[in-house]
Amino acid sequence: MKRIGRAALVAAAAGLAAGAPLWAGKTGKTNTGRADRVFVNGRIWTGEPSQPLAQALAIRGSTILETGASDAIRKLAGKGTEVVDLRGRFVSPGFIDAHVHLLGGGWSLEELRLDDASDFATLQARVRAWAQANPEARWVTGEGWSYGAFPNGMPTRLQLDALVPDRPALLGSYDGHTGWANSAALRLAEITRATKDPEGGEIARDAAGEPTGVLKESAQRLVERLLPKRLPHENERAFRNAISRAASWGLTGVHQAGISEEELESLSHALQASPQLRVYVALQMERDPTPQLLARQQELRQRYSGPRLRIGAVKGFVDGVVESRTAAMFEPYAAGGTGSANWTQDELDRAVAAYDKAGFQVMLHAIGERGIDMALTAFERAAAKNGTRGRRHRVEHLEVPRLADLARFKAAGVVASTQATFPYPDRNHLDVYVSTLGPERAHRALAYKAIDDAGAVQAFGSDWPVFSADVVHGLATVVTRMTDQGTPAGGWEPQQRLSVEAALRHYTKDAAFAEGAEQERGTLAKGKAADFVVLSQDLLTVAPERIKDVKVMLTVLAGQNSYRAAGF
């Protein structure tokens, strides 16, 4: 799993380089028609149950004036109206990714990336090449390695010493939960056999008690805190890169899962300079929110409430992840342990109730069945205690629920925020993820059809840069449950495959619902935001195994082009 779609990245980059100015602004021409722009001769999937398909749409300003047949829509054009012939191309409401880390996404475009190094030899070559190409870098840092790339499922410092002998190196796993340090980095951080494990983390040790170079969870901070700090202008650049990359994937909106105040300011500057994306933001959820802290977070929510940048939520972590066996389970993993929750139920209940009362939506990362149960319980109790309704709290990831718990999502109005590319069944997924879970749990993991069948609102995201936020890749994954190479034949746990329409709905209307914006966006209808994406092929008729080849031709946000592929 966890591969950035390299071909898609290259294609998008080519389009960006060749495309016209991405944010042209108003032309200033006099327009005698009622519409500023009309798009005709398309196959438009509106997402509206009353009129799911249309041929054409008209835009005035930033909103949709009308959708319908090409002849009727043409009549809304006058002198000065831009008429775009879609030539049968497919149009969807703009994609919304309900779970990203934009800053990490932006940095991932510049850093040493190990995402597509699926075996140890490729990984070695990639690290060595980056270190040689960047001799002035004081540290070798990067991310994206997968557990399956290592012979024993975990790396060692000696392996990294052989690749980077001359300076400290720290490389993060694709899921962000494990660090791989070389001996120089451990020395600088003064990590020895005598060092105690920090709270919420583990320094892995060999049989003789020596640190192996693997740093789990919070133990990564012991080395990370020594890295040169990134400056605000560098973060702003990374945000801007992330924003244009998102637009190239057909995204008109994303949900930022957690951010610091300093990063928020950089993001705000980046969006002023590059307003090509709507960003819905979750602040960090604190363990014991004092009235002062809540007041400060409410103040930020009021300050950032615009059409491009809007705060509405806080995000916290209930448990860890499957691969490092930190996701909280009821039954032990095959290799032992039941994972760990970061809170007691009481602590979680208190914090969730405080944020619920203060009007925040709460997003809780919960992956194991026990973590998911804790999150749902906290949401149910907060609503009962505060008498609140319609907060649309969210469980993020919910990878391994007890199937009986799925009904609680609908009953409590909790959004299931899942990630479309998580079930991508490559070697790491099958060798590490599935075998860590064991067959019974794997069978009910990432069960997206079961979530739909339980009547939950399911919003799709990517967790970029954990996975690529390439939406076409996500759609292909949930519809086929196969890799781009067509493996495993028939798909992994194929009973959980989704229809294209269901998948589109989760990336549009349901993701808009998850941020409380479904009245303004998420479908294409009169009066809604003119946010949409034009694709090279008809998603409703293309063969499932060909979805991966569909290209984004044009992304329109608030009536204006935010991305245009070369040749469109």
Closer to Zn ion by CB, 86 or 246: give it: 246
Residue nearest to Zn ion (CB): 463
The C-alpha atoms of residue 443 and residue 464 are separated, in whole angstroms, by: 25
Q: Which is nearer to Zn ion, 104 or 148 (CB)?
A: 104
State how far the Cα of 454 lies from the Cα of 462, in Å rounded to an integer. Answer: 22
Alpha carbon of residue 430 to chain centroid: 21
The piece of 327-335, 463-471, 478-486, 529-537 that touches Zn ion (CB under 5 A) is 463-471
Helix (H, G, I), strand (E, B) or coil at 470: coil
Q: Shortest approach of Zn ion to residue 157 CB, angstroms?
A: 27
Interaction of residue 463 with Zn ion, rule CB under 5 A:
yes
| Per-residue CA distances from 303 to 307, 389, 392, 434 (Å) | 12, 25, 22, 44
Residue closer to Zn ion by CB (options 349, 463) is 463
Site stretch for Zn ion (CB under 5 A), options 105-113, 291-299, 457-465, 553-561: 457-465
In terms of CB distance, is 258 or 522 closer to Zn ion?
258
CB 101 to Zn ion: min, Å: 6
Minimum distance from residue 421 beta carbon to Zn ion (Å): 13
The sheet with strand 90-93 has its strands ordered as: 53-54, 43-45, 90-93, 532-535, 552-557, 560-564
x/- map, 229-268, Zn ion, by CB under 5 A: ----------------------------x-----------
Give the interface size with Zn ion as a residue count (CB under 5 A): 2
**Sequence-distant contacts of 436-442: CB under 8 A, at least 24 apart:** 436/322, 436/323, 436/325, 436/333, 436/334, 436/335, 437/322, 437/333, 437/400, 438/333, 438/334, 441/329, 441/331, 441/369, 441/400, 442/493
Query: Among residues 374 and 557, whose Cβ is nearest to Zn ion?
Result: 374
314 binds Zn ion (CB under 5 A): no
In angstroms, give the least distance from the CB of 463 to Zn ion: 4
CB of 467 to Zn ion, least distance (A): 10
Site for Zn ion in 492-511 (CB under 5 A): none
* Shortest spacing between CB 98 and Zn ion, in angstroms: 11
> What is the CB neighbour count within 10 angstroms for residue 566?
13
The residues with which 215 forms a beta bridge, in sequence order, are 179, 203
For Zn ion, the closer CB: 257 or 500: 257
* Distance of closest approach, residue 461 Cβ to Zn ion, in angstroms: 8
398 binds Zn ion (CB under 5 A): no
Contact 272, 302 (CB under 8 A): no
What whole-number distance in Å separates Cα of residue 547 and Cα of residue 132? Answer: 38
**Shortest Cβ 99–Zn ion spacing (Å):** 6
User: Could you tell me how far CA 552 lies from the centroid of its own chain?
Assistant: 18
- The DSSP secondary-structure symbol of 430 reads I
C-alpha triplet 354, 462, 9: angle, nearest 5°:
145
**C-alpha 396, offset from chain centre:** 10
Instruction: Return the range that interacts with Zn ion (CB under 5 A); candidates 20-28, 233-241, 413-421, 455-463.
Output: 455-463
Residues near Zn ion, by CB under 5 A: 257, 463
